[in-house]
């Protein structure tokens, strides 16, 4: 197997484990999001400083975009972790991956980039799939609808993060510096929010700390890092592989590790959403 493709699939699998870590975390959802980035920050900065080739290039105007990326990522994690607690892992992860559709919608609204017919077809399919997922949540969970709604909000914040990252990478920003800075900003933003919510900030056992370390080092640092490495060595079309592979693996992990059932209507809705995301990515100009 191509090493870059292997890294892409491994990274997507590591990230797919993140909702499992969140679901079993002994800390509150926002607190878990804080520890996810805070515990990864030392490792990211260490890697950045010991690898001279990873040093960021000097260019003007990067800090507003870096802070914006950190703010968007904080919203992404905060809302997603709460969504995972309220609805199924499958629904939450699928809905969060609608981000690529929101990216193209933002380009349509703000940059006047008219979408292609393929994208509009994908958007229509995704909306049909979302309707099926929401219908499943209404039938099987009293909190599912709220969790699904937060999954969509997550996608909006993740889309903003992707747009900020694209702007930074176009200006020469490096992956490690980007991850280290945005993770630091995200941690600084999430800490007071977690305190204000009154959630449990600390895990109750040693096992709880291992869960947070796994989330930080396996899902966040290793998962994101492997995907960033892979996409630098693969054609852009391969980004769709990670986008589609992650929610599938997350649903499988939830089924195997958490005994989370998958209803027939939910599976159908998930497949339609994945088809919509695939078509939207094929029809996107970004």
Kindly report the backbone phi and psi dihedral angles of residue 9, in degrees, each rounded to the nearest multiple of 5, phi listed first.
Answer: -70, -40
CA–CA distance, 20 with 11 (Å, rounded to integer): 15
Confidence grade of residue 75 (pLDDT, cut at 50, 70, 90): very high
Structure confidence by residue, pLDDT tens digits, 198-234: 999 999 999 999 999 999 999 999 988 887 777 667 6
Where are the domains positioned within the chain? 3-282
Percent of the chain with pLDDT over 90: 38
Q: Which residue has the higher pLDDT, 11 or 201?
A: 201
Please provide the average confidence, as pLDDT, over all residues in the chain: 85
**Contact (CB, 8 A) for 77 and 33:** yes
Indicate the range of 29-38, 41-50, 171-180, 226-235 predicted with least confidence.
Answer: 226-235
Nearest Cα residue to 167 out of 62, 12, 20, 247:
62
**Contact (CB, 8 A) for 11 and 226:** yes
Percent of the chain with pLDDT over 70: 90
CA–CA distance, 260 with 91 (Å, rounded to integer): 11
Structure confidence by residue, pLDDT tens digits, 19-37: 999 999 999 999 999 999 9
pLDDT score for 47: 83
pLDDT score for 242: 63
SS (H, E, C) the chain: CCHHHHHHHHHHHHHHCHHHHHHHCCCCHHHHHHHHHHCCHHHHHHHHHHCHHHCCCCCCCHHHHHHHHHHHHHHHHHHHHHHHHHCCHHHHHHHHCCHHHHHHHHHHHHCCCCCCHHHHHHHHHHHHHHHHHHHHHHHHCCCHHHHHHHHHHHHHHHHHHHHHHHHHHHCCCCHHHHHHHHHHHHHHHHHHHHHHHCCCCCCCCHHHHHHHHHHHHHHHHHHHHHHHHHHHHCCHHHHHHHHHHHHHHHHHHHHHHCCCCCCHHHHHHHHHHHHHHHHHHHCCCC
- Per the listing, tokens 């929101």 go with 102
pLDDT score for 189: 97
Q: Which residue has the higher pLDDT, 55 or 143?
A: 143
pLDDT score for 239: 61
């Amino acid at each position: 197997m191509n090493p870059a493709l292997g890294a892409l699939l491994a990274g997507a699998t590591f990230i797919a484990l993140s909702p499992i870590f969140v679901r079993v975390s002994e800390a509150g959802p926002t607190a878990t999001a804080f520890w996810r980035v805070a515990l990864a920050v030392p490792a990211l900065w260490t890697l950045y400083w010991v690898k001279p080739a990873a040093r960021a290039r000097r260019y003007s105007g990067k800090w507003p975009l870096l802070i914006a990326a950190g703010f968007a990522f904080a919203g992404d994690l905060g809302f997603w972790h709460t969504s995972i607690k309220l609805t199924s892992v499958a629904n939450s992860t699928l809905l969060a991956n609608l981000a690529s559709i929101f990216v193209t919608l933002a380009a349509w609204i703000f940059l006047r980039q008219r979408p292609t017919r393929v994208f509009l077809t994908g958007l229509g399919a995704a909306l049909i799939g979302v309707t099926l997922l929401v219908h499943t949540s209404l039938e099987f969970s009293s909190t599912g609808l709220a969790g699904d709604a937060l999954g969509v909000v997550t996608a909006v914040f993740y889309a903003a993060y992707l747009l900020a990252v694209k702007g930074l990478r176009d200006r020469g920003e490096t992956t490690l510096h980007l991850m280290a800075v945005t993770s630091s900003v995200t941690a600084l933003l999430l800490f007071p929010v977690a305190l204000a919510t009154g959630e449990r900030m600390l895990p109750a056992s040693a096992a709880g700390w291992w869960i947070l370390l796994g989330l930080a080092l396996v899902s966040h640092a290793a998962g994101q890092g492997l995907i960033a490495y892979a996409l630098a060595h693969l054609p852009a079309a391969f980004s769709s592989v990670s986008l589609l592979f992650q929610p599938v693996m997350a649903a499988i992990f939830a089924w195997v590790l958490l005994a989370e059932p998958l209803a027939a209507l939910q599976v159908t809705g998930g497949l339609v959403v994945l088809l919509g995301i695939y078509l939207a990515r094929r029809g996107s100009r970004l």
